Structures are given as C-alpha cells and as structure tokens.
Amino acid sequence: MEALFTFKEYLVVRKTGADEAGDFVRLARRDPGFPDAATLDEVLAYLERGGNLEALAGARVTWRKYVIAERDAQRMKVHKAQNA
C-alpha cells in the first residue's frame, strides 16, 4: 500500500516537545539536506554520517510515531471507502 504522506511531510506537522523526539524534529526541520527517507535505516545513516549521534534515539521514537500515524491514516482511508 502506498504511503499517504512521507516521513518528511510528517516532520512538518509533528508537534515538538521538550524531549529527544522534539529535539530530533527541530534538527531535521532546520536541515535543508535532510532526506525524504523511506526507511528508518536511511534516517539513521544520514544522522550518523553527519555526526548527529545524539539525535539517533529521537529519530527512532519519531519514526515509530510516523509509522503509527501512517497506519492510522490508512485505516481511516479504508474505513471511509467502505462507508461511502
């Protein structure tokens, strides 16, 4: 199933808090070269290449929340189609 939104699109709308995930999201938003990654491994590799090792944990948390948001959006799309 094709994604309804990319990870980079998710980062634009994701709320940020005072935690490692919020720190990662702010870092990614400020980085013009941040990739529109299709996998967590791509995100982690990019951060490692750039020396942003402190952002790895926040990236993992944010990716998990992205996967959940994408799954929920897919379910909503199917539910709407079934009830149309």
What share of the chain in percent tops pLDDT 90?
A: 62
**31 SS3 class:** coil
For residue 72, name the pLDDT band (cuts at 50, 70, 90): confident
Closest to 61 (Cα-Cα) out of 9, 10, 2: 10
Q: What is the rounded distance in angstroms from the CA atom of residue 28 to the CA atom of residue 35?
A: 9
Eight-state DSSP code of residue 54? G
Mean pLDDT of 66-80: 78
Does residue 66 contact residue 10 with C-beta atoms inside 8 Å? Answer: yes
Mean pLDDT of 41-63: 94
Closest to 26 (Cα-Cα) out of 53, 57, 58, 60: 58
